[in-house]
Amino acid sequence: MPDALAAVLLRRRRLVDAARLTPPVRRSAWQWLRHPLTTQAGLAALQAELIQRGFLLSANLYRHCAGLNPFALTGFGRELLDVLDAESGSAADHVPLFRGFPESVPGNTETFYVDRVFARLLQKPEQPCVLCGEVETVQPVSPCAHLVCRSCWDGADFSACPICLRHLDPDDPFLEPSFDEVTTPGRADRLRLLTLAPADAARATASELLARRTPLSAGDRADLRVLLSKADPSWLPDTIPVRETRALVLALLMPRFSSLVDDLIETATDALRLLYVLMGADPGLRNPPVRRQSLARGIRRTVLARLDRMPVEQLVEDMLRHHRAWKRVGENLHPFEFADRYPVAALAFAVLRGTTLDATTPAGRAVLSEAAKHPVVRLEGGRPRMNTFASRVEGAFAAGRADLALNLLRTRPGEMLRRLVQLARALPVDAHGSLMEAVATAVSDVSPFVLTAALGQVRTPPGDLRLFFPRGGTTRIWTSVDDREPLPAELAAALAAVLVGELLRRATSLPQVRRAFLDEELARLAAPASGRSTSSTLLRMTRGSAAPIPQDELLRLFVHWVEPAGRRVDLDLSVAVFDEEWAFLGLCDYTRLRFDQDALVHSGNLTSAPGPQGSTEFVDLDLVALRRLGGRYVLPVVFSYNDVPFNELERGFIGVMRQPTGLFDPAAVEERFDLTGPAKILLPFGVDLHTKELRWYDVNLSAAGYGHGIARYAPQVALMAATIEEVHGAGDRVSLWEVCCWHAAARTNEVVVRCADGSVVGYLRGDSEELPDFARRLTARLEPDRYWDLDAANRADFIAVITGDIDPKAGAEVYALHPHLLDPTNLTLTTATDLLTPLTPDTRANLPTH
């Protein structure tokens, strides 16, 4: 099994930890003579395998491989290929129902279904075939024992029982040898570079994750666990900005370094996150622990002692934010057992639960004595009560006192910015000056992610629908009619100017560069908001981002899954097609294997996925044919037909390939989503055939009952996708293009832009031009100052592009969605989140609390 740490470095940074991937070699002299391998021949074979997967060896990695003996190189190559195959999904056995897919898929799904039903219901043992009348051609198959005619059903094409569509015993005589798939070399424009990992690669990768200022995804958290498995506190930075990450780090290191508790737990919610991690739940508090778990007495005392040292009002307010979770966790902590030792913690739980305090018991006396010390606590019928900050703010809004709410929120800048639109609508016109003054003061203390979220809300006018992504067990979205009044245009513009001005001010403190090179196509990508997502993905793109697709593109969708032992899981890959007005045009799934001949072709429905092989379903999309039929929106959906949640799978993922050269072409894998969480329906992305964009949705739909399928959920799928297209396609949300323009405008006077049509233009800041004016001119892509040549990218110091088809100079800071052959050893490769992280205020106290 490949080394876990090596797999993380390779997947995240394209760094190859050669020491971990090279197994020890012990060969005797006669074995060397018997296998006269040469390192050069092995290296050539390894490079050929890598090219088929879309990778190339960097110069330093090539030199390292050339220095290995043949047997060590063989072991290293196998380990490396295994890790790459696991990442792309090609390590799995991808055998569709019709092994000759797409050519052998039946043209008439109804006839195929009727034949299966007749054979199942009417076929008798030792009788002629009910379909063709042939004698002695009907035999049972294993393990389902259905009677199958060898003449009617082609054993060289089917990979499962043609009657029940479940996997067969691989040794069953019905399964005849099929054709061998011919592999072709990977395309040059898809090659990516693999580089030899430096000695500190693990620590540097962990530091990058610990410094993130957005919550980590499930995949990132799993990687961090691997990276920190042998770490010590010296690996930790001075500040871990994200509290979910702190909880994970503390849970990993606390058994060895208990002193970290005081440093990493600042609030009650921090303690709750830690308890969730220790009980195997999500530190984001979205999913409660699956089952009640006991906590060691030492852990309970440590947590209660930390809670006891917090101010009562802050402690209670924090606990009330997650009151259900704290009530559940309180059953594990037993706070009244330690009431005499930790009375503040016991008092907080008494307020949370509404406990009637009994002065005749030791615990009751201890809590009552503590309550008497705090004026903010009052007793009502023997039960402690407290008015919190949040209740005072909500009360002010409910009473029509927006001015009072504003005064309260001045003390909490992050909360003010999150409620900015609510304040702007509630305050009278004569109070707008006070709001502007408060916002101008608050922006200097707030995370850039809060600023960009507020900016998007301020400049987004009310529309037909509102979109919500509530926190919950899975990422589901809700919509409602947006009947709010629009913000006054002058106020909205003034607020937006303050927010953008603050981001520009922070960017000016970053190292200055001589020239910046930007790709106009970055406008398709949404600015990062949160690392949380439903699925772990390859590109980690923000929901709502879009990627361009060529007009004559062939897309191949795939879903692969392995069911748990003893439980059958039937996943279905389906595609729905809608027109310009979101009217339903047709579908392709197990009920219709072909849509308009070859416009959509399904590989066949598999109804089980026993391990270790599992099952795979494909759907081919001919975008030219779909446009000809009047289609505009193409939506693939994964359904758990028999209502089994995705998190019960041994493994599962869905992805898309662009122009594959074989049944499964790892070099063509554009994106891959892991099937995780308690969801049963996933809408990963949608294709807009008019704008030629593939937009990432990554949302789950709520499911109830049994027999989930596209015919049943088509209206709900269309509503979800239409709402996301309306919200993210309107251009009001902050894009990655804007973030890069803020960087460029603040850090240089010379910005080169590669336009969507391939032309290259330049923007030069005049001597008297104000920074906001230059940034506005650049962001809006107004008339450029001059035309340029593409070679400007090779001489730029700050570069942000979609595809790394450039040759930047050494030391340049580069963001590339598809890095391809960019060498991280010579460049500073950044992520989308890294572009906003440097714009964070300096002081830790200025970060949002929750």
Tell me, what amino acid is at 342? Y
- Tens-place pLDDT, residues 617-652: 999 999 999 999 999 999 999 999 999 999 899 989
Q: What is the DSSP string of 776-832?
A: HHHHTT---SEE--GGGGGG-SEEEEEE--S-PPTT-EEEEEE-TT--TTTSEEE-H
User: What pLDDT was estimated at residue 33?
Assistant: 45
Q: How confident is the model at residue 26 (pLDDT cuts 50, 70, 90)?
A: low
CA distances for 814 relative to 758, 819, 827, angstroms:
19, 9, 7
Query: Which token pair is 124?
Result: 């008798």
Q: How confident is the model at residue 819 (pLDDT cuts 50, 70, 90)?
A: confident
Burial of residue 689 (number of CB atoms within 10 Å: 0-12, 13-18, 19+): buried
Domains and CATH numbers, the chain: 4-88 (no CATH), 210-387 (no CATH), 390-445 (no CATH), 516-525+734-839 (no CATH), 546-729 (2.60.60.30)
Q: How confident is the model at residue 846 (pLDDT cuts 50, 70, 90)?
A: very low
Half-sphere exposure of residue 312: CA atoms within 13 angstroms, side-chain side: 24
Q: Are 487 and 458 in contact (CB under 8 A)?
A: yes
Is residue 181 scored above 60 in pLDDT?
A: no
* Dist. CA 616–CA 242, nearest whole Å: 38
* Dist. CA 369–CA 346, nearest whole Å: 11
Is residue 806 scored above 90 in pLDDT?
A: no
Query: Which token pair is 96?
Result: 């569709």
- Tens-place pLDDT, residues 152-173: 999 999 999 999 999 998 889 9
* Dist. CA 812–CA 511, nearest whole Å: 12
Task: Report helix, strand or coil for 535.
Answer: coil
- Tens-place pLDDT, residues 523-563: 988 888 754 544 556 566 777 788 888 766 889 999 999 99
Q: Which residues contact 188 (CB under 8 A, 6 or more apart)?
A: none
Q: How confident is the model at residue 219 (pLDDT cuts 50, 70, 90)?
A: confident
* Dist. CA 26–CA 40, nearest whole Å: 20
User: What pLDDT was estimated at residue 847?
Assistant: 38
Q: What is the DSSP string of 697-760?
A: EEEE----SS---HHHHHHHHHHHHHHHHHHHHSS-S-BHHHHHHHHHHHH-SEEEEE-TTS-E
* Dist. CA 11–CA 14, nearest whole Å: 6
- Average pLDDT estimate for 192-206: 89
Is residue 30 scored above 70 in pLDDT?
A: no
Q: How far apart are the first and last CA of the chain?
A: 39
* Dist. CA 703–CA 698, nearest whole Å: 16
Is residue 140 scored above 50 in pLDDT?
A: yes
User: What pLDDT was estimated at residue 558?
Assistant: 94
Pairing of strands 633-640, 651-658: unpaired
Phi, psi of 592 (to 5 degrees): -150, 95
Mean pLDDT of the chain: 86
Radius of gyration of the CA atoms of the chain, in A: 30
User: What pLDDT was estimated at residue 389?
Assistant: 81
Is residue 119 scored above 70 in pLDDT?
A: yes
Task: Report helix, strand or coil for 135.
Answer: coil
Query: Which token pair is 95?
Result: 């055998």
- Average pLDDT estimate for 98-114: 92
- Tens-place pLDDT, residues 453-469: 899 888 877 766 666 66
Upstream peptide bond of 143 is cis (omega within 30 degrees of 0): yes
Continuous segment of H or E residues that includes residue 152: none
Percent of the chain with pLDDT over 70: 91
Q: How confident is the model at residue 106 (pLDDT cuts 50, 70, 90)?
A: very high
Q: How confident is the model at residue 494 (pLDDT cuts 50, 70, 90)?
A: very high
* Dist. CA 144–CA 398, nearest whole Å: 64
Q: Are 666 and 84 in contact (CB under 8 A)?
A: yes
User: In sequence order, which ranges of 400-444 are alpha helices (DSSP H)?
Assistant: 402-409, 413-418, 420-426, 432-442
Q: How confident is the model at residue 105 (pLDDT cuts 50, 70, 90)?
A: very high
Is residue 741 scored above 70 in pLDDT?
A: yes
Q: Which residues contact 797 (CB under 8 A, 6 or more apart)?
A: 513, 514, 515, 516, 748, 809, 811, 812, 813
* Dist. CA 84–CA 54, nearest whole Å: 10
Which of 706, 688, 552 has the alpha carbon at shortest distance from 633? 688
Dihedral sign for Cα atoms in the order 714, 720, 723, 728? negative
Cβ atoms within 10 Å of 283's Cβ, excluding its own? 24
